[in-house]
Amino acid sequence: MSSPIFDEFLTKVISKVKSKEAHSMIRKELHHHLLELSQSFQNREDSKEKAEEKAVQEMGNPYSIGEKLNKLHKPRMDWMLIILFFIIGAISFLPLIGNAPGSLFLKQQAIWYSLGTIVLIAFLFFDYRKLRNWWWIFYSSGVLVLLYLPVFGLSVGGVKRWISIGGFTVDAATISMLLFFLAWSGIFTKPDMFNGWRQVMMFGLFWIPFILFMMLPSFPYSIFYFLCVLMMFIFSHIRKMGEIIMITAELTTCLLFIVLILITSRGSLLSERFFSFLSPEEYFNGPGYMYILIKGLLADAGWFGIGLNGNSAIQTLPDAHTDFAFPYLVYSLGWAFGIALCILLIVFIWKISRNASKTKDTYGRILVVGGVTLIAVPAIWNILMGLGLAPIIGVSLPFISYGGTTLIFYSAILGIILSVYRRKDIVEPSKI
């Protein structure tokens, strides 16, 4: 039973703390400290009432304590990350300047970035902890979306990733990726689901989206999904033996899956892209042409490029405003700009990664780890792909490549990460 004198003291302290979300944590911490002080005084043969009074006196002025705690426990804003978001957003307009229908693309990009900013702010101020127990809704919705696409989805480039909603074309595969990211972050807060026969069930739940992504087909999304879930799993507090078994099984199965696909799909577009990466000259009249073209453009770029206007790169380089935005920017603005852009993205990803170590909440840490994986892996792959150092598999550069759904997708992830950071001094330390 709580002591009236303790309650009065705690009420005075809490009255000075503006963040209501921090009230519960502060009350628990101070109450525990008061009990310890009270018990120490009782051990010196003081009565319970006298000991409680001394404990309160020992703590000091409740209003002064409250003012100090108000400074410590208040919402935080990662302004550096927000500034980097807008700087990278400004860079995303550069590949559109030299594009033939550039004025239309520039207007649409401005609209998408405005919507992305709204989504980011919405998630920033939303309490991410409320998403934790909705994992089964997110997972089921993601599976339903992927089951819908092969039948009713719109095919572009041989991939049924899009659906039409009110005249707008939406990348439904990207939406499903966000749903699975939220689903697995919630699942990994429930270690009991990885015990006994449930471990087999989790193994099955993991592979269903992977297979559905491959059926679209969307090999990049399968890889990004795999790495995102794997990284969240590693940083969760699932017991070590279960972790070793699960990771070993998943890596082995994934490796066999990829080898089987490459062997059985010899002559397909996927295999041609892979083998043309190893030997572009042999596939000069096919996918190998892109590797040779990119190599030539980068060789002609120089330190300061040839300018955004009046160059022919946008005509000779397909998807220069989407998948190949990076080599186009290097060709147009030079290697100096390309190196600076790489440094900017590294700092951006590093800032996101640091947020994972700053939060005391395990669920928040899992969200940040999964989020940074979904941003870092495509960014690294796209840049390597743009330099001819990785297979060309249709990967956009986060926040820079033109595309509405993907921009909102990354904005939502960044908003969730900022929400975790905002509450890092408010939420109670937790270990699942």
Structural domain range at position 100: 79-422
Q: Could you tell me if 105 and 235 lie in one domain?
A: yes
Mean pLDDT of the chain: 80
Number of domains in the chain: 2
Q: What is the mean pLDDT of residues 239-250?
A: 58
Q: What is the pLDDT of residues 175-201, one digit of tens each?
A: 999 999 999 999 988 877 777 777 778
Q: Could you tell me if 57 and 157 lie in one domain?
A: no
Q: Give the max Cα distance, the chain.
A: 93
Q: Which of the residue ranges 53-57, 232-236, 320-324 would you say has the lowest mean pLDDT? A: 53-57
H helices present in 235-283, as ranges: 240-264, 269-278
Query: What strand order describes the sheet that includes 159-165?
Result: 154-156, 159-165, 168-171
Residue 47 falls in which region: left (phi positive, over 0), alpha (psi -120 to 50) or beta: beta
Query: Six-digit token pair at 356?
Result: 């994972």
Q: Could you tell me if 17 and 112 lie in one domain?
A: no
Top-confidence range, 21-25, 302-306, 377-381, 427-431: 377-381
Q: Could you tell me if 68 and 92 lie in one domain?
A: no
Q: Could you tell me if 24 and 115 lie in one domain?
A: no
Q: What is the mean pLDDT of residues 400-418?
A: 92
Q: Could you tell me if 85 and 43 lie in one domain?
A: no
Q: How confident is the model at residue 406 (pLDDT cuts 50, 70, 90)?
A: very high
Over 50: is that where the pLDDT of 168 sits? yes
Q: Could you tell me if 61 and 99 lie in one domain?
A: no
Q: What is the pLDDT of residues 267-287, one digit of tens each?
A: 455 566 666 666 666 665 666
Q: Establish if 431 belongs to a structural domain.
A: no
Q: Could you tell me if 340 and 226 lie in one domain?
A: yes
Q: Could you tell me if 307 and 377 lie in one domain?
A: yes
- Burial degree of 358 (CB within 10 A; 0-12, 13-18, 19+): middle
- Burial degree of 271 (CB within 10 A; 0-12, 13-18, 19+): middle
Long-range CB pairs of 68-74 (<8 Å, 24+ gap) are 69/13, 69/16, 69/17, 69/22, 69/26, 70/16, 70/17, 70/18, 70/19, 72/425, 73/17, 73/19, 73/22, 73/25, 73/26, 73/425, 73/426, 74/18, 74/19, 74/22, 74/425, 74/426
Q: What is the pLDDT of residues 82-103, one digit of tens each?
A: 999 999 999 998 888 766 555 6
Q: Could you tell me if 55 and 202 lie in one domain?
A: no
Q: What is the pLDDT of residues 16-29, one digit of tens each?
A: 676 676 677 777 77
**Strands 159-165, 154-156: pairing kind:** antiparallel
Q: Establish if 427 belongs to a structural domain.
A: no
User: Whats the size of the chain, residue-wise?
Assistant: 432
Q: Could you tell me if 65 and 83 lie in one domain?
A: no
| pTM assigned to the model | 0.84
> Among 51, 72, 93, which residue terminates a domain?
72
Q: Establish if 283 belongs to a structural domain.
A: yes
